[in-house]
Amino acid sequence: MTPARLTIRDITVETWRHGTTTRLVDGVSLSLAAGEVLALVGASGSGKSLTCAASLDVLPPGTRRTTGTVAIDDRETGFAALRGRLVASIMQNPRSAFNPVRTMRDHAIETFHALGIGRSEWRPLMEASMKEAGLDDPAGLLGLHPFEMSGGMLQRMMIALALASRAPFLFADEPTTDLDLIVQRDILDLLDRLREQRRLGILIVTHDMGVVARLADRVAVMESGRICETGPVRQIFERPAAPTTRRLVEAHLSLYGKALAA
């Protein structure tokens, strides 16, 4: 049975230096349903990416999760158990996410090994996932190294690897930041289509309110490691309550106007 909801409760992340502890994420709770896009927004350094990393047990050195639980359909599970099998991830800079001396085939095989997928499934699963991600000629592309591919192609390849994992949820951390506008549009269209066709639950981390307006159903706004406001996307744009939310919306409207805000 496909999971219907992912719940993250009371995530706290701290760092320490010279005997001093600093709280970077403070009691963050989020819920994501199948087929839903939840946007986690806020300024750089607000704790968005750390919240995702803590939820998947991949925090950077020098930080630690001190509280928190994760659950699938209200059944608590281990953080590491989410990674890859229940939650796939795509990063903001695809070129740095791939080993430059290894081919796309190498990366695919490594992914399948990690997930325990049988060898007989590798080729048909990878080719189907690449085509679903908008990559033609999978056999040819699998032989390429990262430096032989454009940023847009690499982002699609990362999405294809996420799809091949068969995970029902996807964390997308600033997935369009380093892409040109046309490729950004194509990647957002692809994510929207996958949400509808696969019923993927997508948590998209972004500071771009244009991405929020285009893709999200609900929005959670972070400031200084805490959630300061949550709500449906239209409510966030039309009636923002928290000062941080108002600043994000006002900055977006000053650049693009109301016509592109919703």
pLDDT per position as a tens digit, 200-256: 999 999 988 989 999 999 999 999 999 999 999 999 999 999 999 999 999 888 876
Q: Does the pTM exceed 0.85?
A: yes
Unique residue bearing structure tokens 């991405």: 211
Q: Delimit the domains of the chain by residue range.
A: 5-86+168-256, 99-166
Give 66's DSSP letter. Answer: E
Amino acid, single-letter form, for residue 256 = Y
Tell me which CATH homologous superfamily contains domain 5-86+168-256.
P-loop containing nucleotide triphosphate hydrolases (3.40.50.300)
Spatial separation of the C-alpha atoms in residues 92 and 173, rounded to whole Å:
5
Q: Can you name the residues that pair with 203 across neighbouring β-strands?
A: 38, 171
What percent of the chain stands above pLDDT 90?
A: 69
pLDDT per position as a tens digit, 8-66: 999 999 999 888 999 999 999 999 999 999 999 998 889 999 999 999 999 999 999 99
List the alpha helices (DSSP H) in the chain.
Answer: 48-55, 79-82, 94-97, 104-115, 119-132, 138-141, 151-164, 181-198, 209-215, 233-238, 243-256
pLDDT per position as a tens digit, 161-190: 999 999 999 999 988 877 788 888 898 999
